[in-house]
Amino acid sequence: MDILEDLQWRGAINQQTDAEGLAKEIADHKISLYCGTDPTGDSMHIGHLIPFMILERFARFGHHPYILIGGATGSIGDPSGRKSERQLQTMDQVHHNEKALTKQMKQLFGRNADISIVNNYDWTKDVSLLDFLRDYGKLFNVNTMLNKDVVASRLDQGISFTEFTYQVLQAFDYYHLFKEHNVQLQIGGSDQWGNITAGTDLIHKLAGADAKVFGLTIPLMVKADGTKFGKTAGGAIWLDPEKTSPYEFYQFWYNQDDRDVIKYLKYFTFLNQKEIGALEEQVKNEPWKRAAQTALAEQVTEFVHGKDAVLDAQRISKILFQGEVQKLTTKEVSQAFNNVPTTEIANEPVNIVDLIMEMEIDKSKRQAREDVNNGAISVNGVKVTDVDAEINPNDNFDGKFIIVRRGKKKHFLAKTK
């Protein structure tokens, strides 16, 4: 099985500019390829991860991927998938995000020596406007550009000249990488098809119609229920552990629907066909064991955060399932309760009823007293039934946190100032 056959089995190919030609090129020799991301933020989320996992797969088959950080294109704004103009960032913010994303890419993919990381700001910053228009702009037909989906979808609302020219910049990137590094393939999400074909067209005009360059896109990821993949009630699932804790990250994957889990194993893990096939059988025959979800959570969390993060997440999960939150470390509390309602309080003893009111767990002192009397309130894993009880933050978690549970599942966190 070659890389393209592997991608077909994983359901990871949407469109190709020349499927037969790319297959022949890959059969003949190892190729160089690239995928880019713009520094619109200082971290990727799991949706961004998809095409770069494919680059990693190419590397494991012996090919040479380039990860492009869009320091130049990120200052302009890709109109793909948007209904209105993107708010331009300051160049200081763009450069900050460049550095953060480059660091993240090195952590994730730098372990593979066959993957290179480049920044299009390096070859774009010294090109003058006149040279750019004369050498590249002249080769783009406005009618063709208007027919690209990425532009056509914006014509009713309007699109600025800045975002209109984005496809020229991305095409320039492909041409530069082809000329300097013999890059022959660009991959991206399905929304990038117009930008990718702009690049292959430009190379054919500048290097000749027989230049062997190709484009490949990945299907849009949609969950079985029709909703967008990667979003939760709490927002995006980030790769930065400060934005999404490794425990939350692990839980996201573990909680996937049986209808989606095999698809995600194919996309996000490096398990082979036999291993995933065995897990698929377990989903059919023993779904309550959640073996596929466990494998998915372990594989992706280890790839992004490391083996220790998997062990930590599993330990936290076990403690929370057993209801023994007092066994958590201070660090584990910040992971496990990162997204629950949180209140800052003074680091001093406080009456349980006053604490409930300060944390806005109940709307009235009467209700708070009833909850305490009825045994509905637990503090740091211990049920509190005395309305006169004093809670001292320094009794647990290095004086930094108090965990309050109301009923069986509703948790609240107090952080000391």
pLDDT band per the 50, 70, 90 thresholds, residue 233:
low
**Residue 57 belongs to what H/E stretch?**
helix 46-60
Same domain, 43 and 167: yes
Structure confidence by residue, pLDDT tens digits, 382-413: 999 999 999 999 999 999 999 999 988 789 99
CA 188 to chain centre: 14
Single-letter amino acid code for the residue at 54: I
> What pLDDT score was predicted for residue 232?
65
Predicted confidence (pLDDT) at residue 293 exceeds the cutoff of 80: yes
- Nearby residues of 250 by Cβ (< 8 Å), 6 or more positions away: 297, 298, 301, 309, 310, 313, 314, 317
> What pLDDT score was predicted for residue 302?
96
Q: Are 88 and 38 in contact (CB under 8 A)?
A: no
For residue 153, give the 3-state DSSP assignment. coil
Predicted confidence (pLDDT) at residue 234 exceeds the cutoff of 70: no
Structure confidence by residue, pLDDT tens digits, 123-135: 999 999 999 999 9
Task: Please check whether residue 225 lies inside any domain of the structure.
Answer: no
Same domain, 140 and 200: yes
Average pLDDT over residues 196-219: 96
Average pLDDT over residues 218-238: 81
Which among 341, 331, 351, 334 has a CA at the least distance from the CA of 406? 341
**Residue 402 belongs to what H/E stretch?**
strand 401-406
Same domain, 96 and 241: no
Length of the chain, in residues: 417
- Nearby residues of 200 by Cβ (< 8 Å), 6 or more positions away: 17, 174, 186, 213, 214, 215
pLDDT band per the 50, 70, 90 thresholds, residue 221:
confident
> What pLDDT score was predicted for residue 89?
85
**Distance in angstroms (rounded) separating the CA atoms of residues 167 and 185:** 16
Residue 12 vs residues 178, 265, 266, 272, 293: alpha-carbon distances, Å: 24, 12, 9, 14, 20
Same domain, 52 and 196: yes
Max mean pLDDT range (69-78, 87-96, 181-190): 181-190
Structure tokens given for 204: 């054919």
Same domain, 12 and 94: yes
pTM: predicted TM-score of the whole model, two decimal places: 0.87
Block residue for tokens 């698929």? 280
Task: Please check whether residue 328 lies inside any domain of the structure.
Answer: no
Same domain, 193 and 293: no
Same domain, 133 and 242: no
Task: Please check whether residue 200 lies inside any domain of the structure.
Answer: yes
**Distance in angstroms (rounded) separating the CA atoms of residues 117 and 102:** 8
Number of neighbouring beta carbons within 10 Å of residue 83:
9
Instruction: Give exposure, 274-299, as e/b (b: 16+ Cβ within 10 Å).
Output: eebeebeeebeeeeeebbbbbbbbbb
For residue 267, give the 3-state DSSP assignment. helix
> What pLDDT score was predicted for residue 229?
82
Predicted confidence (pLDDT) at residue 85 exceeds the cutoff of 80: no
- Nearby residues of 107 by Cβ (< 8 Å), 6 or more positions away: none
Task: Please check whether residue 334 lies inside any domain of the structure.
Answer: no
Same domain, 170 and 81: yes
**Distance in angstroms (rounded) separating the CA atoms of residues 400 and 417:** 8
**Distance in angstroms (rounded) separating the CA atoms of residues 246 and 100:** 18
Average pLDDT over residues 337-353: 90
Structure tokens given for 29: 């020799």
Predicted confidence (pLDDT) at residue 326 exceeds the cutoff of 90: no
Structure confidence by residue, pLDDT tens digits, 352-366: 999 999 999 999 999
Task: Please check whether residue 21 lies inside any domain of the structure.
Answer: yes
> What pLDDT score was predicted for residue 111?
81
Task: Please check whether residue 226 lies inside any domain of the structure.
Answer: no
pLDDT band per the 50, 70, 90 thresholds, residue 236:
confident
> What pLDDT score was predicted for residue 231?
65
Task: Please check whether residue 228 lies inside any domain of the structure.
Answer: no
Q: Which of 218, 247, 268 is the last residue of a domain?
A: 218
Task: Please check whether residue 73 lies inside any domain of the structure.
Answer: yes
Predicted confidence (pLDDT) at residue 188 exceeds the cutoff of 90: yes
Residue 271, CA atoms < 13 Å, CB-side half-sphere:
23
Structure tokens given for 171: 């095409």
**Radius of gyration in angstroms for the set of CA atoms belonging to the chain, rounded to a whole number:** 26
Number of structural domains found in the chain:
3
% of the chain exceeding 90 in pLDDT: 74
Same domain, 61 and 170: yes
Q: Which of 164, 190, 218 is the last residue of a domain?
A: 218
Same domain, 28 and 122: yes
Domain that holds residue 382: 342-416
Q: Are 56 and 109 in contact (CB under 8 A)?
A: yes
> What pLDDT score was predicted for residue 81?
64
Structure confidence by residue, pLDDT tens digits, 141-166: 888 888 877 788 777 778 888 888 88
pLDDT band per the 50, 70, 90 thresholds, residue 67:
very high
Angle (nearest 5°) at CA 136 between 131 and 142: 125
Query: Residue 222: beta bridge partners?
Result: 228
Structure confidence by residue, pLDDT tens digits, 309-321: 999 999 999 888 8
Structure tokens given for 141: 């037909």
Block residue for tokens 């039934």? 385
- In 235-362, where does DSSP find H-type helix? 246-254, 258-268, 273-285, 291-305, 307-322, 330-336, 352-358
> What pLDDT score was predicted for residue 355?
93
Of the ranges 203-212, 242-251, 331-340, which one carries the lowest mean pLDDT score? 331-340
Q: Which of 294, 322, 350 is the last residue of a domain?
A: 322
Predicted confidence (pLDDT) at residue 304 exceeds the cutoff of 80: yes
Question: Residue 355 sits in a domain of what CATH number?
Answer: 3.10.290.10
Q: What is the mean pLDDT of the chain?
A: 91
**Distance in angstroms (rounded) separating the CA atoms of residues 309 and 304:** 9
Does the CA dihedral 99-41-83-231 come out positive or negative? positive
Predicted confidence (pLDDT) at residue 53 exceeds the cutoff of 80: yes
Instruction: Give exposure, 246-256, as e/b (b: 16+ Cβ within 10 Å).
Output: bbbbbbbbbeb
> What pLDDT score was predicted for residue 150?
76
Same domain, 261 and 205: no
Question: Residue 214 sits in a domain of what CATH number?
Answer: 3.40.50.620
Same domain, 363 and 411: yes
